[in-house]
A and B are shown apart, each in its own frame.
Chain A
C-alpha cells in the first residue's frame, strides 16, 4: 500500500529533477551573465557623455549601462540557485566588479575628484603639508588630527597630487570596507543563519549566504561617505572594530582575550583621534552590548568612555569652546534633529526633493528587509547571539543618533553605521527560500536605482575643471584674503591664509540674498577685517542654489549686478568661475574680461 502511494510521488520528483537545469548550466549562465554585464557596462560607459541635471548622472548613461548593472546581481542569483555548490568567490567578484563600475563612473565621466567637501577636507591637510602645523582654533578637524596628519604623511611620502589622492580615495575606501565587512558577514552567516531548509547543523545556504550582505552594502550605500574625509577613515576603523566585536560576542560568548582587548582599545583610540561622532557611535554600541550582557566586560565601556572624555577635554577643547552655541542648540534636541535631518532634506528643486524622497524610501526598504529577517529568524529558530547582537547594536546607534553636531548629516551617518549589521541580519535569514528570493530580487532592482540615490545630487557634487582652475588661482595668485562664495575655493589649498564663507549655506537656514554679495560684511563676521575681500561666483554655487533652494537663476542675476557695480573689479574669469575684488566706496573702472589672463 505504501509503495502504491509513493510510486506516483517518485515519478513526479524524477520529472521535476529532470526539468531542473544542471549545476553546470547554472554555473555557465552565471559566468556568461557576468561577462555580458561587464561588456554592457563598459560599452555603455564608452558611449556616455556628461549630461547633468536635477537627477544627477542618470541622463549621462545609456540603457545598456543600467542593464549591465542589473545583470551582475542576476549572475549572483544564478550562483545561489546552485545551492551548496554556489561559488562565493564568483559572487564576491560580481560585487567588486559592480563597485568598480559604479565608483569609477563619475571619475571617468567628470575627470576631476567629485564631492566638494573632499576639497574642504584637503584644506585641513594643507597647513600640515606646508609645515604650518595644526591649528585647532581655526580648523575643526585639527582637534582630531589623525586624518590631516596621516594624509600629509602619505602625500609627503608618495608625492601624490591632491587631485589624484582625492579621486582615488572613495574607490580605495569602499573596497577596504568590504574586507572587514566580509569577516562580519561570514561570522554571522556561519553562526547565525536560519536553517529552515536544512534543519540541524550548518545550513547549506549559510556557506554561501554571506556575500549577499556585501551586495546589500554595495547597492544600499548611497551616502558617499567614503569621500576624502576623516569620517571615511574613521568608518574603516569602525568596521574593523566591529569585526573584532562580532567575533568576541558571537564566537567567544562575549569573553575578551588579551589580543581582542588590545585590538578593541587600540582601534577605539584611533577612532577617538580621528572623528568625534564615530567614537560616540562606538560608545553607544558598547553601552547597548554591555547592558544586554552580550559583552562580558562592564569595565570596557568605562575605559573607552574615559579615553573619549579625556581627549575631548584636554585636546579638542578649542572645538567645544568655538562650537558651544551650536552644541547648546542641537545636542539631544529630537525636534531639531528631525527637522534638520529629514524635513529640510526634502526641499529645493522638485528633482532634488524626489531624489531625497527616493533615498528615504530606499533606506526604509533596507530597514524593512532587516526587520523581516529578524521576524523570520525568530519564528524559525528563536533567539540567537547574532540576532541579539544585531538588535542591541542598532539600539546603540539609535540611542546616540540625536546627539547631532553635524546639522543635516546625521541620518546619512545612522544609515552608514547600521549598514553592516542590517546586511548581517538579512544574511541571517538567508536560509529561508522565500526570504532568499525576496532578497535577491531587491538587490537586482536596487542595482540600477543606486545610480539615482548615489549620484542624484551630482549637479552639485561635480567639480568642473574650470572650477579647479579657479581654486588654483585663488590659492596661488591671491594675497591673504577673505573669500566669499565659489565653495570650496578658499577652503582647498593655502587655507591658513584664506578665510572663506560659503555663499549658499552661509547663514544657516537663511537663504542668500543679493545684499550678501553686495556687502559680504553685512551678515558675516571676518576674522581679518584688514584682508582684501573677493567675491566668487561658480558653477557649483549655481548648482547648489538650483538644487537646494530652487533658485536656478540666482547666481547669473548676481553676476549681472556685480558686472555693473564699480565696487567690484573682475580679476579672474572662466566659464565656471568668476572672481571679483570687492572695494566698497571705490570708483574703480572695471577692466574687460578679455584683459584678464588666468594664471595656471
Chain B
C-alpha cells in the first residue's frame, strides 16, 4: 500500500495524473463546483461520523442539527454534478 501510494504521488507530481485542468474542463463554467464538492464530501463524511455516536454526545447533537442543511448542500452538489456529467455525455445540451 505504501508503495502504491508512493507510486501515485510520484505519478501525480510528474503532472501526468488526473489534474486540476481536467477538473476545470469537467465543471466548465461552474468553476466553484469543484471546491464546493470537496467541501460537501468532507462535511458529509464528518456528519456520518457524528451521527454514529451515542445520542447524548455533544457532537451527535450538533450532527443531528446540521443534518438538513448538509443534506441540502449534498443534494445540490449531486444534482449540479449530475447535470454537468449528463452534459459531457450528451444527454442534455
Chain B contributes a number of interface residues (CB within 8 A of A) equal to 49
Q: Kindly identify which residue among A133, A297, A320, A321 contacts B48, using a CB–CB cutoff of 8 Å.
A: A297
The secondary structure that dominates the A interface is helix
Q: Is the CB of B16 within 8 A of A149?
A: no
Query: A598 to chain B: closest CB distance in Å?
Result: 33
A3, chain B: closest CB distance, angstroms:
61
Report the separation of the CA atoms of residues A165 and B53 in the bound assembly, to the nearest whole angstrom.
Answer: 43
How far, in whole Å, are A331 and B91 apart by their CA atoms in the complex?
A: 10
Out of B37, B44, B75, name the residue touching A314 (CB < 8 Å).
B37
Inter-chain contact B4/A299, CB cutoff 8 Å: no
Stretch touching chain B among A6-14, A302-310, A556-564: A302-310
In the complex with contacts A134-B11, A315-B18, A320-B85, A306-B44 CB distance below 8 A: yes
Chain A contacts for B74, CB-based, 8 A? 302-303, 305-306
CB contacts (< 8 Å) of A318 on chain B: these are 18, 22
Is A465 an interface position by the 8 A CB rule?
no
Q: Which of A112-168 contact B (CB under 8 A)?
A: 128, 131-136, 142-143, 145-146, 149-150, 152-154, 156-157
- Could you tell me if A134 and B48 are in contact, using CB atoms closer than 8 angstroms? no
Query: Binary interface profile of B, 34-54, with partner A (CB < 8 Å = 1, else 0)?
Result: 100110110011011101110
A549 in contact (CB, < 8 A): no
Contact with A along B4-24 (1 / 0, CB 8 A): 111110111011111000110
* Least distance between A259 CB and chain B CB atoms (Å): 8
Closest to A316 in B: B18
- Interface: A502 (CB within 8 A): no
Question: Which chain B residues lie closer than 8 Å to A303 at the CB level?
Answer: 41, 44-45, 47-48, 74
A136 to B17, CA, bound (A): 7
Residue from the list B8, B40, B89, B91 in contact with A149, Cβ < 8 A: B8
Q: Are A300 and B16 neighbours in the complex by a CB distance under 8 Å?
A: no
Tell whether A258 is near chain B: CB-to-CB under 8 Å.
yes
Decide if B3 touches A154 in the complex (CB within 8 Å): yes
| B52/A315 in contact, CB under 8 A | no
**Most chain B beta-carbon neighbours within 10 Å: one of A265, A320, A325:** A320
Given A152-B4, A258-B52, A318-B22: A302 and B88 interface contact (C-beta under 8 Å): no
One of A152, A260, A307, A325 near B41 (C-beta < 8 A): A307
A261 touches B11 (CB 8 A): no
A64 within 8 A of B: no
A152–B12 CA distance with the chains assembled, in angstroms: 14
Name the contact of B8 in the complex, choosing from A145, A314, A323, A324 (C-beta under 8 A).
A145
CB distance from B75 to the nearest CB of A (A): 7
Contact with B along A323-336 (1 / 0, CB 8 A): 11101100100000
User: Given the complex of chains A and B, what is the CA–CA distance between A310 and B25 in angstroms?
Assistant: 14
Residues on the B chain within 8 Å of A157, using CB: 3
A261: chain B residues within 8 A (beta carbon): 48-49, 51-52
- Scoring A143, A156, A313, A321 by chain B CB atoms within 10 A of each residue's CB, the highest score goes to A313
Asked if A133 and B17 make an inter-chain contact with CB atoms under 8 angstroms apart, the answer reads yes
Q: How far is the CA of A299 from the CA of B85 in the complex (A)?
A: 22
Residue of B nearest to A150 (CB): B4
What are the residues of chain B within 8 A of A325 when measuring CB–CB? 90
The distance in angstroms between the C-alpha atoms of A494 and B44, with both chains bound, is 42
Scoring B residues 57 to 74 as 1 if CB is less than 8 Å from chain A, else 0, what string do you get? 000000000010001001
Return the chain B residue nearest A327 by Cβ.
B89
Tell me the smallest distance from the CB of A283 to a CB of chain B, in Å.
Answer: 11
CB of A240 to closest CB in B, whole Å: 15
A312 on the interface (CB 8 Å rule)?
A: yes
Known: A152-B4, A303-B47. A328 touches B85 (CB 8 A): no
Minimum CB–CB distance from A126 to chain B (whole Å) comes to 13
Q: Within the assembled complex, what's the spacing in Å between the Cα atoms of A265 and B49?
A: 10
Alpha-carbon distance A327/B88, docked complex (angstroms):
11
Cα–Cα, bound, A208→B47 (Å): 41
Contact with B along A259-292 (1 / 0, CB 8 A): 0111001000000000000000000000000000
A128-B11, A150-B4, A313-B26 in contact; A134/B75 too (CB < 8 A)? no
A257 in the interface (beta carbon within 8 A): yes
| Contact between chains at A154 and B34 (CB < 8 Å) | no
**Cβ B81 vs Cβ A313 within 8 A:** yes
State whether A302 touches B7 (Cβ < 8 A). no
Query: Is B22 in contact with A315, judged by CB distance below 8 angstroms?
Result: yes
Q: Is A63 an interface residue (CB 8 A)?
A: no
Chain A residue with minimal CB distance to B18? A315
The answer to whether the Cβ of A353 comes within 8 Å of any Cβ in the partner chain is no
- Distance, CA A320 to CA B26, complexed state (A): 10
CB-CB under 8 A for A133 and B67, given A157-B3, A314-B27: no
Pairwise interchain contact A133-B14, C-beta atoms closer than 8 A: yes
B81/A310 in contact, CB under 8 A: yes
- Known A-B contacts A154-B4, A310-B81; the reply to A321 vs B52 at CB < 8 A is no
Q: Judging by beta carbons under 8 Å apart, are A143 and B7 in contact? A: no
Closest Cβ neighbor of B30 among chain A residues: A313
B49 touching A258 by the CB < 8 A rule?
Answer: yes
B79 to A: closest C-beta gap in Å? 9
Contact A300 B48, beta carbon cutoff 8 Å: yes
Q: Cα distance A309–B84 when bound, in Å?
A: 10
Query: A residues bordering B, Cβ < 8 Å?
Result: 128, 131-136, 142-143, 145-146, 149-150, 152-154, 156-157, 256-258, 260-262, 265, 297, 299-300, 302-303, 305-307, 309-310, 312-318, 320-321, 323-325, 327-328, 331
Could you list some 19 contacts between A and B, CB below 8 A?
A: A134-B18, A143-B18, A157-B3, A256-B51, A258-B53, A297-B48, A297-B51, A300-B48, A302-B75, A303-B47, A306-B37, A306-B44, A310-B37, A310-B38, A312-B85, A314-B27, A316-B18, A320-B88, A327-B89
10 tightest Cβ-Cβ pairs between the two chains A and B:
A133-B16, A153-B3, A153-B4, A317-B26, A150-B4, A157-B3, A303-B44, A133-B11, A310-B37, A261-B52
